[in-house]
Structure 1
Amino acid sequence: MTHQHGTQLTGHVQLSLVIPVFNEAATIDLFIARITDVFKDETLIGLEMVFVNDGSTDTTLDLLLERQQTDSRLRIVDLSRNFGKEAALTAGLQTATGQVVVPIDVDLQDPPEVILEMIALWREGYEVVLGHRVSRKTDSWAKQTSANWFYRLHNKIAEQHLPENVGDFRLMDRCVVDALQTLPESRRFMKGLFAWVGFRTTHVNYERLERVAGASKFNGWRLWNFALEGITSFSTEPLRIWTYLGLFVSLISFSFAIFIILRTLISGVDLPGYASLMVAVTFLGGLQLIGIGVLGEYLGRTYIESKRRPVYLVRRVYDPKD
Structure 2
Amino acid sequence: MMSKLVSVIVPAYNEEASLLHLYEALKKLMESLPNYDWEILFINDGSKDKTLSIIESLYDTDKRIAYVDLSRNFGKEKAMLAGFDYCKGDCAVMIDADLQDPPYLIKDMLQYWEEGFEDVYAKRKDRGKEPWLRKKLSMMFYNMLDRSTRFEVLKNVGDFRLLDKKCIEALKQLRESERYTKGLFCWIGYKKREILFDRKDRAYGQTHWSFWQLAGLAIEGFTSFTTTPLRFATIIGCTTAFCAILYLIWTLIKVAFWGDPVAGFPTLISVILFLGAVQLIAIGILGEYIGRIFNEAKHRPTYLIENYKARRQ
Provide TM-score, normalisation by structure 2.
Answer: 0.96
Partner residue, 1:157: 148
Partner residue, 2:301: 310
Percent identity between the aligned chains?
Answer: 36
Question: Is the CA contact 2:128–2:201 (under 8 Å) kept in the aligned structure 1?
Answer: no
Question: Is the CA contact 1:12–1:43 (under 8 Å) kept in the aligned structure 2?
Answer: no
Q: Does 1:27 align with 2:18?
A: yes
Partner residue, 1:212: 203
**Within-5 A mapping of 1:241-280:** 241-268=232-259, 270-280=261-271
Cα deviation, residue 273, structure 1: 4.4
For 1:290 and 1:215, locate their aligned partners in 2 and report how far apart those are by CA, in whole Å. 34
Cα deviation, residue 63, structure 1: 1.3
For 1:209 and 1:49, locate their aligned partners in 2 and report how far apart those are by CA, in whole Å. 22
**Within-5 A mapping of 1:209-248:** 209-248=200-239
**Within-5 A mapping of 1:118-129:** 118-129=109-120
Partner residue, 2:78: 87
SS, match of residue 304 in structure 1: helix
Counterpart of 2:27, as a letter, is T
For 1:159 and 1:60, locate their aligned partners in 2 and report how far apart those are by CA, in whole Å. 40
Question: Is the CA contact 1:69–1:320 (under 8 Å) kept in the aligned structure 2?
Answer: no
Partner residue, 1:4: none
Counterpart of 2:182, as a letter, is K
Cα deviation, residue 317, structure 1: 0.3
SS, match of residue 161 in structure 2: strand
Question: Is the CA contact 2:70–2:307 (under 8 Å) kept in the aligned structure 1?
Answer: yes
Q: Does 1:193 align with 2:184?
A: yes
For 2:119 and 2:131, locate their aligned partners in 1 and report how far apart those are by CA, in whole Å. 29
Q: Does 1:49 align with 2:40?
A: yes
From 194, 212, 222, the counterpart of 1:203 = 194
Uncovered stretches (5+) of structure 2, i.e. residues with no partner: none
Of residues 270-279 and 194-203 in structure 1, the stretch that sits farther from structure 2 once superposed is: 270-279
Uncovered stretches (5+) of structure 1, i.e. residues with no partner: 2-10
For 1:207 and 1:44, locate their aligned partners in 2 and report how far apart those are by CA, in whole Å. 28
For 2:24 and 2:274, locate their aligned partners in 1 and report how far apart those are by CA, in whole Å. 58
For 1:38 and 1:80, locate their aligned partners in 2 and report how far apart those are by CA, in whole Å. 31
Cα deviation, residue 271, structure 1: 3.0
Provide TM-score, normalisation by structure 1.
Answer: 0.94
Q: C-alpha offsets along residues 164-188 of structure 1, whole Å, 9 cap, x if unaligned?
A: 1100001110011001111131211
Q: C-alpha offsets along residues 48-101 of structure 1, whole Å, 9 cap, x if unaligned?
A: 011000000111111111111111111110000000000000001111000110
For 2:165 and 2:94, locate their aligned partners in 1 and report how far apart those are by CA, in whole Å. 13
Count of aligned pairs: 313
For 1:235 and 1:281, locate their aligned partners in 2 and report how far apart those are by CA, in whole Å. 31
For the aligned residue pairs, the C-alpha RMSD in angstroms reads 1.6
Segments ≥4 residues shifted beyond 3 Å: none
**Within-5 A mapping of 1:146-185:** 146-185=137-176
Question: Is the CA contact 1:158–1:231 (under 8 Å) kept in the aligned structure 2?
Answer: no
Question: Is the CA contact 1:160–1:234 (under 8 Å) kept in the aligned structure 2?
Answer: no
Of residues 43-52 and 232-241 in structure 1, the stretch that sits farther from structure 2 once superposed is: 43-52
Counterpart of 1:227, as a letter, is A
Q: 1:267 to 1:321 in 2, by over 3 A?
A: closer
Q: C-alpha offsets along residues 170-226 of structure 1, whole Å, 9 cap, x if unaligned?
A: 111001100111113121110011110000111111111122310110010101111
Q: Does 1:295 align with 2:286?
A: yes
For 2:194 and 2:273, locate their aligned partners in 1 and report how far apart those are by CA, in whole Å. 49
